[in-house]
Amino acid sequence: MSSSVITAHGLRKAFGTTHALAGVDLRIAAGESVAIMGASGSGKTTLLHVLAGITSPDSGSVSFEPSADGAIEVTALNERERSRLRRERFGFVFQQGLLIPELTAIENVALASMLNGVSRREAEHLAGAWLTSLGLAGMEQRRIGELSGGQAQRVAIARAQVTGAAVVFADEPTGALDSTTSTEVMDALLWSTTSQGRTLVLVTHDASVAARCSRTVTVRDGLIVSQAVTA
């Protein structure tokens, strides 16, 4: 059996009287791509945020095991440690890329490494290589507003990869795109993660996006109600 990179047990999270997570167990293997599906309000984003150490659960545990050397108990870390873990080990792609509009494409990507202490020169070198691999050569100096939606999402994907993230978390990364652009963004996302041995965890409403992932997990009322492995 392949080793788990993320292991979650008994996750519960309530917002007032809403049980966003009602007891979730989930193991994610290294190199897997997992699609989380379910109706609006079912708890998908909450689950993604708890797995990624953005939100603390009320109870339950999340452990991150980047290698056989040992596991990091995400749910035992304080806020500062979790923020460092996210910055250094995880990558994030959201529906709206959350890129900085005042910065150019290359600056947006380079910033992620610079926050981890990489020099500007080295960071821009790496950022340029990722942008080129993702089909954005020649667009490095454009500001985000000067790119199409699909191009901006590929900048966000480059930014999520540049730090060497072991796990990339994406919340409806194709939610704002047409189907052709969505296919291109999924190509970029899968190529830059699973084909390099990294792990992808994404939330989507789109069955054709989920079908490209190795496994689909369906959430209802804060619980995983079914799982399907894609052939």
Ligand X SMILES: Nc1ncnc2c1ncn2[C@@H]1O[C@H](COP(=O)(O)OP(=O)(O)OP(=O)(O)O)[C@@H](O)[C@H]1O
204 in contact with Mg ion (CB under 5 A): no
Cα distances from 93 to residues 22, 180, 230, in angstroms, run 25, 19, 23
Tell me if 15 contacts ligand X by CB under 6 A: yes
Write down the H helix ranges in 6-94.
Answer: 44-51, 79-89
Among 4, 7, 33, 45, binds Mg ion (CB under 5 A): 45
Per CB under 6 A, the list member of 4, 11, 35, 44 interacting with ligand X is: 44
Q: Are 24 and 8 in contact (CB under 8 A)?
A: yes
| Residue 20 binds which of Mg ion, ligand X, none (CB < 5-8 A, kind-dependent) | ligand X
Nearer Cβ to ligand X (111/219): 219
Partner whose footprint covers residue 15, from Mg ion, ligand X, none (CB < 5 to 8 Å by kind):
ligand X
Nearer to Mg ion, 38 or 91 (CB): 38
Whichever of 41 and 101 has its CB closer to ligand X, that residue is 41
By C-alpha distance, which of 33, 42, 7 is closest to 229?
33
Question: Is 46 near ligand X (CB under 6 A)?
Answer: yes
Q: How many angstroms separate the CA atoms of 154 and 97, rounded?
A: 9
Distances (CA, A) of 215 to 34, 178, 200, 218: 5, 23, 11, 10
Q: How far is the CB of 127 from ligand X (least distance, A)?
A: 30
Q: Considering beta carbons, is residue 23 or 66 the nearer one to ligand X?
A: 23
23: region left, alpha or beta (phi > 0 left; psi from -120 to 50 alpha): left
Helix (H, G, I), strand (E, B) or coil at 120: helix
Interacting residue ranges for Mg ion, rule: CB under 5 A? 45
Interacting residue ranges for ligand X, rule: CB under 6 A? 15, 18, 20, 38, 40-46
